[in-house]
Structure 1
Amino acid sequence: MEQPKPRPVTIRDVAALAGVSAGTASKALNNQGQLRQETRDRVLAAAKGLKFRPNETARSLGSERTFTVGLLTTDSIGRFSIPVLLGAEDALAAGTILVFLCDTREDPIRERHYVETLLSRRVDGFIVTGRRSDPRTPLAVDVPVPVVYALTPSSDPADCSVVADDEQAGRLAGEHLIATGRSAIAHITGPASFDAVGNRERGLRTALSSSGLSLVGPGVLYGEWSEAWGRRAAQILLRSGAQFDGVYCGSDQIARGAAEVLAASGRAVPDDVALVGTDNWDILVEGRTPTLTTIDLNLHEVGRRAAQRLLAAIDGEPTQGLETCPSRLVMRESTELQRVRD
């Protein structure tokens, strides 16, 4: 039986053995950059020991920058990737770096094609993002340039990832509802399989528990990320007979649907029920009456920090691990203080 051919040694293998970034390894091999001689010697020894033969893409890294970055996303509608992109561009603009935005549509073959095409154009690095915060597998292509994952983290803890704080989002929502006088709080959210859903629920329960409270209603209502689900879930909550004066929704879409049903049933927002959403999606939170209090996941900052980490990696600084960006509460009319009744 024919034995499989061994995988070619790459710049990342050399970098791992030498304990440096891929950018630093390439600079050392090309006699570029201001590196300590000890670092340069360690990289050269690792390359020799692994019998490394550099390809042209790897050779260009550290010797000739193109001042371009590839941003790969699975978010076809751009709701999450656009704020990340804008934040990244804010950080990259100081270095006059251009960004190529590619929508992979969650297709591994398409993603591989984009990576290989952008590498042929000698991009200096990649930012990888998506529409959900569940960990994803690292890029399938062996990439000789730095990669930073934004919002959607890499499943490899050795990679560099910058994410939103979903648990803090739930905690902020709970603390705010309690601070405005609510003590019977329900939770309507998205699919239970999403990491963000579990993290937001955990944060909400933490806030309630700290005040001696627990969730009310027929349990957490899991469903789709849609206004239609928000309407159905609010109907379920009302039919359950549970007494509630506050609802935290896992998205602004869900909150908008819930608000419609609450209004139709005679439950005024915020007088009878305070409502908090998630995402701070302007067309939803400002396009209704009353306007919607929500939790902003700070995606612009996620993109900005991811770009900063990428720039550091391109400059040869070791960059890895998980960084979490704080969420923030945006108060509007749907959670005004309860009025004192006669």
Structure 2
Amino acid sequence: MKFLKYMLIFIPISIVGKFMNFSPAVMFILAALSIIPLAGLMGEGTEEISFYSGPKIGGFLNATFGNATELIISFFALKQGLFEVVKSSIAGSIIGNILLVLGASMLAGGLKHKTQEFNKNIVETTSSMLLFAVIGLSIPAVFTHTFPSDLLNTRYEGLSIAVAVIMFILYILSLVFSFFTHKELYAVNYEEEGKAKWSLKKAIIILIAATIFIAIESEFLVDGVEGITSNLGLSEAFVGIILIPIIGNAAEHTTAITMAMKNKMDVAIEIAIGSSLQIILFVAPILLFLSLMFTPMSIIFNQFELIALIVSVLIANKVASDGQSNWLEGAQLVAVYLIIAAGFFIV
């Protein structure tokens, strides 16, 4: 993670570039290179806070702030009416976490430890909920793609908001389940290593500062989407489903792989699957609610996004079924992700 700190130099460069009217494509690249280390600082800040708040609260904060980067980026995209980018980034985060992050973690951990074990009861609970959640998220699209348009009410936004409210309630219930009624299922399996390097005050200040700079850079990034799509010939779907999730979650991806290499597959899998669950139940509803401030957004995925989402979640449930992982399973997950990425690239 140390090399990420050297990338902070791109923050002042991007700000200077904004005042000097660099091209949108260049600003997109500079903003992306700035967001990656900022997301890393945000992750490090929440990790330091966990030493003071305890691992359970720390884990929750890590997942929440881990998705904050993408939430901020999506907010500015929403503000500019880039709905396809927003919807693609939601789908891309879920697919990327399940296939790329989980796959890379299993591959790296498996090469070092051959066969790794994890608590399948916890993972089964999370992955089963993920399956129900992605089905709910897909319902508006299923209705749209299944029934003739003359049989449907044209106000898809209303159905999307209804689904978002139900998802958000389910998110609250999941917190009650994990923090109160069934907290014994989520008992920490590993002792916390080391001690805090930062004071609580320093960790909070860095967390706030990183969030502010991410908001600034996210606006630069979104302003450059049109430039990057026209200059490089990329579709908005590819930018949303591949580039933005990788940029926003780069630090989180690194953490998951590091945990797997330390033979802490429970943590690595929870980062991958738990983060996907939070995207569906928390980030997606919040974005739909925020869209009411501008132009209401419907959460209608295209057929390819739907298939990729459902297949990814089914794979997550299959992986959770035996409580073991190896490097070949990881390679297979990464391969599926690359195939999906290639599909969106040619769009």
Same fold (TM over 0.5): no
Instruction: Give the TM-score of the pair, scaled to structure 2.
Output: 0.25
The structure carrying a bigger strand percent of its residues is 1
* TM-score, with structure 1 as normaliser: 0.25
Looking at CA atoms only, which structure, 1 or 2, has the larger radius of gyration?
Answer: 1
- Between Structure 1 and Structure 2, which shows a larger proportion of helix residues? 2
